[in-house]
Amino acid sequence: MKKYSITLLTIVLFVVLGFSAFTAAAEQKIELKVWDVSFNEGYVRWWKNYVKEFNKANPNIEVTYETYETEAFKAKTAASIVAGTMPDIFKLNPGAIAFKYYTEGKVLAIEDLYDVSPYMPGIKEGCSFNGKMIFHPLYMVPFAIYYNKAQFAEAGIDLQKWADPTQPTWDEFIVACDKLKDAGFTPIAIGNASNWPFLAWVWILQNRFGGTKELIDAVSGVGSYTSPGFIKAAEVAQRFAQSGYFPKGFSSIGGNSMYILLTQGNGAMFYFGTWVIGTIKDNAPPGFEYGVFKFPSFPDGNPDSQRDIYSVLTAFAVSSTTKHPEAVAKFLQPLTTSYDVMLSYIKEASVIPAINGILEMAKTAGVDPVMLTVAQHFAEAKHGFGAWDWVLPAPVAEEMLNMSQPLSMGTITPKEFCERLEAKARQK
């Protein structure tokens, strides 16, 4: 009896499936597919809303917005690029790898699709190849140090006592860390399970010592990863990690647990991007107050880059296999031209879009003041740089990610770190 019912079920399902296949082919609408990686709920909610509104306003276009988790997203995009079935719009981070997509003809340049003048020049440069803007910048997430006001007060740290209240020097910073440690708090909230949080410290330190030029030279092969700025950065970072300021077992803390550290009081300072703001809103216990300051400066470091900011830049790429480039342009354009759209973007998703004049507008529109402060930092910076795991060529980036935990735990020396990067880059 059971076997018969299963056969029956199978036949029924086959028939249903067959029919559903036919109905799918019968639609006449223009279909656009968007693949993205969701990083917090506000962001996804905003996008889903935007897509809904867009679909309503354009009845002949149907946009599907899908989000995936990072590992699967990488595999999925890689597979679809090989097979040639890329979605019309998909997310990627501009860098060595991304520009290869353009040179191999897998993505179109957005400059060919619509007007790109509203973008901030620095961002335009980050998304351009040979002067032509290829990718549509989605957002920038500048990094800064967020701190727990209550714990700072209890440890007796007063920002006003610093030479510059918005940015301590490294020595002032270490003094603050020690004070927190003495007061029984964990100074730094960090979770290095995904390897890059600790590396972010290395990157910003290299910037403070060597500047962005050193980085660009190393990547392009003119310079080297063993330049003094790199080595000093690795040294300082390693010494810092070994000073007991990090939480216990930080190499295994990742994902959600990272944020809980700050809001639970298990870490007083958090060097992270503006996503934190949205997460704190969602997760913090009532009465949690926090502030922000820039990454510390080094009076004896590179004079040009003490105010530089590390910022993640994420962009959308338009695949070259898209059948409806005009529809794509129609979808993406309001993101550059409509200020209302932009403002709601900042508020809901707590990220900063890269349009000229958005900061002034944001000030008057009641955006979160901490967010504004960070945006201000970004505007004051001379240079910005992106995540090295996108800027560096893929094999070197992977090697670097792999060395993050050993470096932070002291099992490899800073010199070894740089030398291995150099060896990997010059391979072949």
Partner 1 sequence: MTISCPNNICFVGARGIYKYIFIIKLNNKIREGEAINNRFMDRLGKWRQFLLSPNLVGWLMCMPALVFGVLFFLVPAFVGFLISLYDWDGVTSMTFIGLDNYIEVFKIHRYWNAMLVNWLTFFGCLLTQIPLALFFAITLSKKSPIAKVYRSAIFAPRMLSVAAAGLLWSLVFDPYEGPLNQLLEKIGLESLTFSWLGEPNTALISLLIASSWLYFGFHMIIFMGGLASIPKEYYESVQLDTNNGLMVLWYITIPLLREQFLISFVIVFSGTFGALIGFFSLMTGGGPSGSTELLGLYMVSQAFRANRFGYASAIGVITFFIVFIVLLWPVIQTSRKRLEY
Partner 2 sequence: MRKQGYQPLRVKKYIFRDLLFHTFYTLVSAATLGPIIWIFMLSFKTKKEFATNPLSLPRSFFLGNYINAFTDSLLTTFFMNSIIVTSIALALILIISTLAGYSLARIKFSSSRILFMIFVMLDGLPIYILIIPLYVMLNFLKLDNYLWGLIFTYVAMRTGVSIIIMRGFFRSIPSYLEDAAKIDGCNLLQSLWYIMLPIVRPGLTVAAIMNFIFVWNEYYLATILLSKMTLFTVPPGLSCSFMGRYTTNWPAMAAGFTLTIIPTFLVFIFLQDKIIKGWSTIDK
* Contacts with partner 1, residue ranges (CB under 8 A): 71, 74-75, 78, 81-82, 97, 100-101, 104, 106, 193-195, 247-254, 257, 260, 264, 266, 389, 394-395, 397-399, 401-402, 405-406, 409, 411
Minimum distance from residue 252 beta carbon to partner 1 (Å): 3
411 binds, among partner 2, partner 1, none (CB under 5 to 8 A by kind): partner 1
Provide the 10 A C-beta neighbour count for residue 178: 15
376 binds, among partner 1, partner 2, none (CB under 5 to 8 A by kind): none
325 burial level (CB within 10 Å; 0-12, 13-18, 19+): middle
CA dihedral for 353, 357, 363, 365, sign (positive or negative)? negative
Which residues fall within 8 angstroms of residue 421, CB to CB, at 6 or more apart?
A: 225, 230, 396, 399, 400, 403
Determine, following the binding rule CB under 8 A, whether residue 37 of this chain makes contact with partner 2. Answer: yes
Determine, following the binding rule CB under 8 A, whether residue 44 of this chain makes contact with partner 2. Answer: yes
Q: Cβ closer to partner 2: 115 or 289?
A: 289
Q: Taking CB under 8 A as the rule, which mask of x and - marks residues 71-90 in contact with partner 2?
A: -x--xx-xxx-xxxx-----
**φ/ψ (deg, to 5) at 61:** -115, 135
Dump the DSSP string for 137-199: EEEEEEEEEEEEHHHHHHHT--GGGSSSTTS-BHHHHHHHHHHHHHTT--SB----TTSHHHH
Q: Cβ closer to partner 1: 348 or 389?
A: 389
Binding test (CB under 8 A) with partner 2, winner from 15, 19, 29, 70? 70
Dump the DSSP string for 311-371: EEEEEEEEETT-S-HHHHHHHHTHHHH-HHHHHHHHHHH--B--BTTHHHHHHHTT--HHH
Determine, following the binding rule CB under 8 A, whether residue 252 of this chain makes contact with partner 2. Answer: no
Minimum distance from residue 350 beta carbon to partner 2 (Å): 12
Q: Cβ closer to partner 1: 150 or 401?
A: 401
The Cα–Cα gap between 88 and 325 comes to 8
The Cα–Cα gap between 374 and 379 comes to 9
Q: Cβ closer to partner 1: 368 or 416?
A: 416
User: Candidates 33-41, 117-125, 216-224, 297-305 — which segment interacts with partner 2 by CB under 8 A?
Assistant: 33-41
1 binds, among partner 1, partner 2, none (CB under 5 to 8 A by kind): none
Determine, following the binding rule CB under 8 A, whether residue 121 of this chain makes contact with partner 2. Answer: no
Minimum distance from residue 395 beta carbon to partner 1 (Å): 4
Determine, following the binding rule CB under 8 A, whether residue 38 of this chain makes contact with partner 2. Answer: yes
The Cα–Cα gap between 125 and 294 comes to 24
Binding test (CB under 8 A) with partner 2, winner from 186, 207, 279, 319? 279
Determine, following the binding rule CB under 8 A, whether residue 379 of this chain makes contact with partner 2. Answer: no
Q: What is the dihedral of CA 137, 141, 143, 149, to 10 degrees?
A: 160
Q: Which of 58, 49, 54 is nearest to 29 (CA)?
A: 58
Determine, following the binding rule CB under 8 A, whether residue 27 of this chain makes contact with partner 2. Answer: no
Residue with tokens 């301590």: 168
Determine, following the binding rule CB under 8 A, whether residue 282 of this chain makes contact with partner 2. Answer: yes
The single-letter DSSP state of residue 93 is -
User: Candidates 16-24, 104-112, 227-235, 293-301 — which segment interacts with partner 2 by CB under 8 A?
Assistant: 16-24
The Cα–Cα gap between 176 and 151 comes to 11
242 binds, among partner 2, partner 1, none (CB under 5 to 8 A by kind): none
Could you tell me how far CA 6 lies from the centroid of its own chain? 49
40 binds, among partner 1, partner 2, none (CB under 5 to 8 A by kind): partner 2
79 burial level (CB within 10 Å; 0-12, 13-18, 19+): exposed
Minimum distance from residue 267 beta carbon to partner 2 (Å): 14
249 burial level (CB within 10 Å; 0-12, 13-18, 19+): exposed
DSSP β-bridge partners for residue 31: 62
Q: Cβ closer to partner 2: 75 or 394?
A: 75
Minimum distance from residue 100 beta carbon to partner 2 (Å): 17
Determine, following the binding rule CB under 8 A, whether residue 264 of this chain makes contact with partner 2. Answer: yes
284 binds, among partner 2, partner 1, none (CB under 5 to 8 A by kind): partner 2
Q: Which of 237, 230, 226, 238 is nearest to 209 (CA)?
A: 230
101 binds, among partner 1, partner 2, none (CB under 5 to 8 A by kind): partner 1
Q: Return residues touching partner 2 (CB under 8 A).
A: 6, 9-10, 13-14, 17, 21, 24, 37-41, 43-44, 64, 66-70, 72, 75-76, 78-80, 82-85, 255-256, 258-260, 263-264, 275, 279, 282-285
